[in-house]
Amino acid sequence: MTAGLGAAAVKLTVFAAASLTTVFPQIDGHQRYDFAGSDQLAFQIQQGAPADVFASANTNYPDQLYAQGLVEKPKVFATNELVLIVPRDNQAGIHSVYDLQQKGLRIVIAAQGVPVGDYTRKALASLGLTPILKNVVSEETDVKGVVAKVALGEADAGFVYRTDALADVKDLASIKLPAAAQPVIQYELAVVKSTHHLYTARKFVARVLSKAGRLALARAGFGLP
């Protein structure tokens, strides 16, 4: 009985992509979360940071950690879409991604290596719009940084996940990208092999993949694999 109580009291450290900041505590509010860019979190795990579960906004980082023997086999648990966001007042008059070719615009994106930053560059390349990167005034360490800059009016536009745009409709308007330019965005999570709480960590992964977890993700605007 004591062991059971101890297991119930375990508080995991979950390293999770910044775009999961709102939904993960809804799925399981008991755990300790560290939300940041997936690239930063993967690097910390490689350096031996004490994490029990890793949830990434792409498949690259979990797959790399799996290949290095640092996590158990990753599982895809959600999908997302890339959108263009503008301040609600949209003083620059941006109504399409092609409007970003105007001179003098201030664009903010995530840095290279951050999944949303890589997705952004991929989408722009497929549209032949890579030259607009010269209008980038800031490269953020995670998607929340992009949201904040645009919401505060410090930029005319930025690229984020659809879920982040939905979470701040008061300050932001979102613009869909052409379907042909939409990158495949899949989220993966995995148990970190160095965890001291293997059973509880696996239960957390199962909870995210459960019907209740999937319902919470869908309500937050995520797609389901």
Question: Is the pLDDT reported for residue 1 higher than 50?
Answer: no
Secondary structure letter of residue 195 according to DSSP? -
Which domain range does residue 65 map to?
Answer: 2-79+184-219
Are both 89 and 38 inside the same structural domain? no
**Do the domain assignments include residue 70?**
yes
Beta pairing partners, 14: 33, 53
Are both 174 and 100 inside the same structural domain? yes
CA dist list (Å): 130 to 19, 25, 101, 133: 24, 36, 10, 6
The model's pLDDT over 8-60, given as tens digits with 9 standing for 90+, comes to 579 999 999 999 999 999 999 999 999 999 999 999 999 999 999 999 999 99
Q: Can you list the alpha helix ranges (DSSP code H) found in the chain? A: 2-9, 23-27, 38-46, 60-67, 115-126, 143-151, 162-166, 198-209, 211-219
Are both 188 and 168 inside the same structural domain? no
CA dist., res. 49 & res. 47, Å (int): 6
Residues, the chain = 225
Question: Is the pLDDT reported for residue 6 higher than 90?
Answer: no
CA dist., res. 103 & res. 39, Å (int): 32
**Do the domain assignments include residue 56?**
yes
**Do the domain assignments include residue 224?**
no
**Do the domain assignments include residue 225?**
no
Report which residue type is found at 7. Answer: A
Question: Is the pLDDT reported for residue 4 higher than 60?
Answer: no
**Do the domain assignments include residue 64?**
yes
Supply the pLDDT for residue 19: 97
Are both 168 and 199 inside the same structural domain? no
Are both 172 and 96 inside the same structural domain? yes
Number of domains composing the chain? 2
Residue 88 CB burial class (10 angstroms; 0-12, 13-18, ≥19): middle
The model's pLDDT over 103-146, given as tens digits with 9 standing for 90+, comes to 999 999 999 999 999 999 999 999 999 999 999 999 999 999 99
Q: How many CA atoms lie within 13 A of 102 on its CB side?
A: 15
How far does CA 54 lie from the centroid of its chain? 12
- 170 token code pair: 């008061």
**Do the domain assignments include residue 192?**
yes
